[in-house]
A and B are shown apart, each in its own frame.
Chain A
Amino acid sequence: MIKSLEELKKIREQYKDTLQNREAEDKNIKILVGMATCGIAAGARNTINAIIEEIRNENIDNAVVVQTGCMGFCYAEPTVEVRMPNSEPILYGKVDSEKAKEIVKRHVKNGEVIREWVLRG
């Protein structure tokens, strides 16, 4: 039973994440994870799930995570491309779930490009 506006706000916070995917059109940071056969074989599913989890943990609400097809860098899978507003897209290679969390913390949240993992950009 909701007995105050605060309690309603609590429920709103609790379920806010359920609409995150559906509000993608309003978000300006895009993270693409290569999820073709090569990417999946190299562990891209762990990568994408780690990114999503980290984004929730860090309360980043303006980023969309989508999967994409093969970008031709099959030797460097899993690949992750970060598109921030007003800057060139950055493509990272060989991103496991640990690196993925770092990328979210340092690049997506603080805008720091992690040079040593960059494949292109």
Chain B
Amino acid sequence: MPIRMELLVCGGTGCQASNSNRVLEVLREEIKNANLENEVSVLMTGCFGFCEKGPIVKVMPDNVFYVEVDEDSARKIVAEHVVKGRVYQEKLYVEPDTHEKLPEQSKIPFYKKQLRIALRNCGKIDPENINEYIAADGYMALGKVLTEMTPEGVIDVVKKSGLRGRGGGGFPTGVKWEATRKSKSDIKYVICNADEGDPGAFMDRSILEGDPHSVLEGMAIAAYAIGAQFGYIYVRAEYPLAIHRLRIAINQARELGLLGKNIFGTDFSFDVEIKIGAGAFICGEETALINSIEGGRGEPTVKPPYPAQVGLWKKPTNINNVETFANVAPIILNGADWFASIGTEKSKGTKVFALAGKVNNVGLVEVPMGTTLREIIYELGGGIRGGKKFKAVQTGGPSGGCIPAEYLDTPIDYDNLTALGSMMGSGGMIVMDEDDCMVNIAKFYLEFSCDESCGRCTACRVGNKRLLEILNKITEGKGEMEDLEMLKELAETVRDSSLCGLGQTSPNPVLSTMKFFYDEYLAHVRDKECPAGVCKELLKYYIIPEKCVGCTACAKVCPVNVIHGEPKKVHVIDRDGCIKCGQCYKTCRFGAITRK
């Protein structure tokens, strides 16, 4: 009996953390109890991206998208939808503005503007079953390349498609492949950089978890194009599920002869090994990554020579990021013109962004290049949480910068983001609202860079530390005007005198916040105030006399007894002894206590 209905349960790390494994079990049990296990099946897929509303369960072919499913609602979905054919209304996505329930995934604003190329199979196929990948045209591109195209022809297609590296720099992929092809050597390597480390970014993890074969296929095509026989996937140990699914995928591909010797009966042989990294951010830098695979310290080396000439074990090596590889097979199958027709003049195709911070819909989105920041934040992201005011969006992680409201209509591509003092990076996108202090944000990213600096270059090792000290001084209210000049000068020095991308870009969060939010720095230094009310040392608590009813609640919770006043009369805070704990602010039911 053919399966007539399928329940797809999200098995990404996010949904698993919200218990989607249990949801899957309950669905299976209930379907078995209803004697429907021969007609209805339940399977685990990769990430749907809508992590905000997980765990996700999608019922096909009915095309009904359930959100925030727990054990109870899983039982209801089986009883109502599977058995009786009635959509279970309680767990449909509710459009916040119209309060309308939207059963169809494609009608949900979060998905409306998305175009999924790299994530094409995530949430659609079972990542642990190679046959499903093959059913979705998997390995057809590799077959086409090996049996019908020359390596030069492959490079030509990738060059014409305009694909650029999705890991950060945005270097044209075809040009990189060509350089590695031209290097003469008996042995060459392909490396997949899965050392995704930007805070908040998880697109590479989701691709590896949801569609690992797409990465293996992309790597094999690259290997054929450059003339490599062997590949490594460098993935961090913090991604156990991704590693688990990759291992399954590699074994299945070997069993079918899609990895190994004489693939598709040709002379081409290629195999892949997983190399697990210890989670150092610097190992995302390609030369440091190579050192780490070789067993050395994760430290960058001077370029040139580039890995394309002298790479792993001193052999020519091509390194691309996970998302870049995931784009390769569709380009081969659909053609360079198809890919080049999507996006902007210099940035083609789509980009996956990890939307996080103060937006309503946190998750993974894949949109065509050239989509504006406003569209992503307000349409897909559903606007700012709690109806607050947008302040800035941080792109590119610790290497990127903060982009203020006046540039919200900028079409996103590599060059536009760089022009704004930020960068595409791996695609992290953290939204900030009026309650975020930009000096504090710069401090946060700088702390990250200080922790992750490998320590090789003085400018990065010591310079970032000094920058952080100055920022600490400013947020503690001890900043002086000359600190601001020092900050800028030192940031530029670190940028200009570091060897690798980490040091060259680590001052970006400082420089971009100084450029766009200089008034906040001034407020901290000159007026000793934190306009967003974040920097504790700078806060001052006041009681608004018109609102105070004299209930004495604040005076009772004050741990240092500096709030004075008689019952039913206006109270006052003696700020000399105030330790700024904020207890009074939280306790007051009349909104009579304010801080600035």
Residues of chain A touching chain B, judged by Cβ–Cβ distance below 8 Å, are: 1-5, 8-9, 11-12, 14-22, 24-25, 27, 34-37, 39, 45, 48-49, 52-53, 56, 64-69
Contact code string B433-460 (vs A, CB < 8 Å = 1, else 0): 0000000000000000000000000000
Residues of chain B touching chain A, judged by Cβ–Cβ distance below 8 Å, are: 1-6, 8, 39, 60-63, 84-86, 105-106, 124-125, 131-132, 134-137, 139-140, 143-144, 147, 255-258, 262, 264-265
Contact B144 A56, beta carbon cutoff 8 Å: no
Residues of A within 8 A of B60 (CB): 21-22, 24
Residues of B within 8 A of A56 (CB): 2
Contact A52 B257, beta carbon cutoff 8 Å: no
**How many A-B Cβ pairs are below 8 Å?**
103
Within the complex, which residue of A17, A25, A27, A35 is in contact with B106, where a contact is CB–CB below 8 Å?
A25
Q: Given the complex of chains A and B, what is the CA–CA distance between A66 and B6 in angstroms? A: 11
Contact B86 A69, beta carbon cutoff 8 Å: yes
Contact A15 B131, beta carbon cutoff 8 Å: yes
Within the complex, which residue of A1, A11, A35 is in contact with B84, where a contact is CB–CB below 8 Å?
A35
Within the complex, which residue of B4, B84, B143, B264 is in contact with A52, where a contact is CB–CB below 8 Å?
B4
Contact A49 B84, beta carbon cutoff 8 Å: no
Contact A22 B1, beta carbon cutoff 8 Å: no
Say how far A110's CB is from chain B's closest CB, in angstroms.
22
Residues of A within 8 A of B131 (CB): 11, 14-15, 18
Known: A17-B2, A24-B62, A69-B85. A3 touches B257 (CB 8 A): yes
Q: Show 28 residue pairs from A and B whose CB-CB distance is below 8 angstroms, ordered by the A residue.
A: A2-B139, A2-B258, A3-B262, A3-B264, A5-B264, A8-B140, A11-B256, A12-B134, A12-B137, A16-B135, A18-B3, A19-B136, A20-B61, A21-B6, A21-B61, A22-B8, A22-B60, A24-B60, A25-B106, A34-B85, A35-B85, A36-B84, A36-B86, A45-B39, A52-B4, A56-B2, A66-B61, A69-B86
Within the complex, which residue of A3, A12, A27 is in contact with B135, where a contact is CB–CB below 8 Å?
A12
Q: Given the complex of chains A and B, what is the CA–CA distance between A30 and B140 in angstroms? A: 30
Residues of B within 8 A of A68 (CB): 85
Contact B84 A15, beta carbon cutoff 8 Å: no
Residue of A nearest to B256 (CB): A2
Contact B61 A22, beta carbon cutoff 8 Å: yes
Known: A2-B257, A48-B4, A67-B5. A19 touches B124 (CB 8 A): yes
Residue of A nearest to B258 (CB): A2
Say how far A34's CB is from chain B's closest CB, in angstroms.
7
Say how far A37's CB is from chain B's closest CB, in angstroms.
7
Residue of A nearest to B140 (CB): A8
Contact A19 B137, beta carbon cutoff 8 Å: no
Residues of B within 8 A of A27 (CB): 61
Say how far B97's CB is from chain A's closest CB, in angstroms.
24
Residues of A within 8 A of B105 (CB): 25
Residues of B within 8 A of A25 (CB): 63, 105-106
Contact A2 B62, beta carbon cutoff 8 Å: no
